[in-house]
Structure 1
Amino acid sequence: MAQTIAPPAAGAVTPAPIPLKAIAPWALFVGVLMLVLLYFIGAEQGATSLLSGTEVHEWVHDGRHLLGFPCH
């Protein structure tokens, strides 16, 4: 079964690619957010604990085991 690709219609405008300057702030934001999430799942309630108590540990306990972090 052969498929042919129709040429674009006359006057059709192709969208311009998104410039890197528009993507960079969002990529930085997502990267920092992921690092914070990784910290809370992997290291909180340890030697570098930012919050006292065990609430954070209990909220992310199963996620630690799922990702392979030891916690007890």
Structure 2
Amino acid sequence: MTSAVAAFDDSFIPVGATADIPLGDIAPWAVLATVMALILLYFVSTEQGAFALFDGMYVHEYVHDGRHLLGFPCH
């Protein structure tokens, strides 16, 4: 018969121990996430407005509902 203690009797699962993640491991991912968020914010808020990187209205129409959802005026 197995007991309830056997579920936690695994040497690969530390029970009660917490391991801190070093800042050096988090920093590159945090920078990448920030850059990607700023690029997304640019496309939703500014593209096809006063400053545009692409010709036509394709980007504007693609993010049109997102602009209104976030409160950016576009027309």
Shorter chain as denominator, the TM-score bin is 0.7 to 0.9
Q: Does 1:44 align with 2:42?
A: no
Q: Which residue does 2:70 correspond to in 1?
A: 67
Matched residues, number:
63
Percent identical: 62
- Normalization by structure 1: what TM-score? 0.79
Gaps of 5+ in 2: 1-13
Gaps of 5+ in 1: 1-11
- Superposition CA RMSD, Å: 1.9
- Normalization by structure 2: what TM-score? 0.76
